[in-house]
Amino acid sequence: RKEVEQDPGPFNVPEGATVAFNCTYSNSASQSFFWYRQDCRKEPKLLMSVYSSGNEDGRFTAQLNRASQYISLLIRDSKLSDSATYLCVVNLFMDTGRRALTFGSGTRLQVQP
């Protein structure tokens, strides 16, 4: 089983739609969580951190459910510019106290006019 699993999509949605992605992680000792966005042939860029209480940044809302070990990302009022691959990322503290990011394979979103 992969450490971080995501539905690869693609999710094809019209402009203005609301779309949600889920991600599950296998290691219950995972400490912190993120969503990154990656455009085609570009580097991943941090979209938002995910906090236990849930957090919102404009049209984007992230939720964390530690008991069920899943993370979600909700995008409201989708824009054409939201088309990208969304990577779920879990940061696990290692024995030495350092951290390593574990990435899911990404969920591809295509927003259509």
Partner 1 sequence: DAGVTQSPTHLIKTRGQQVTLRCSPKSGHDTVSWYQQALGQGPQFIFQYYEEEERQRGNFPDRFSGHQFPNYSSELNVNALLLGDSALYLCASSSLAGDRVDEQYFGPGTRLTVT
Q: Which residues bind partner 1 (CB under 8 A)?
A: 4, 31-32, 34, 42-46, 49, 87, 91, 94, 96, 98-106
Which helix (H) or strand (E) segment holds residue 53: the answer is: none
CB-nearer residue toward partner 1: 19 or 87: 87
Least distance to partner 1, CB of residue 103, Å: 3
CB-nearer residue toward partner 1: 72 or 105: 105
Burial of 97 (0-12, 13-18, 19+ CB in 10 A): exposed
Least distance to partner 1, CB of residue 23, Å: 11
CB-nearer residue toward partner 1: 5 or 17: 5
CB-nearer residue toward partner 1: 45 or 79: 45
Least distance to partner 1, CB of residue 19, Å: 19
Least distance to partner 1, CB of residue 12, Å: 18
Instruction: Please state, in angstroms and as integers, the Cα–Cα distance from residue 60 to each residue in 6, 73, 95, 109, following that order.
Output: 18, 7, 33, 14
Report the amino acid identity of residue 1. Answer: R
| Contact (Cβ atoms closer than 8 angstroms) between residue 54 and residue 64 | yes
> How many CB atoms lie under 10 A from the CB of residue 93?
13
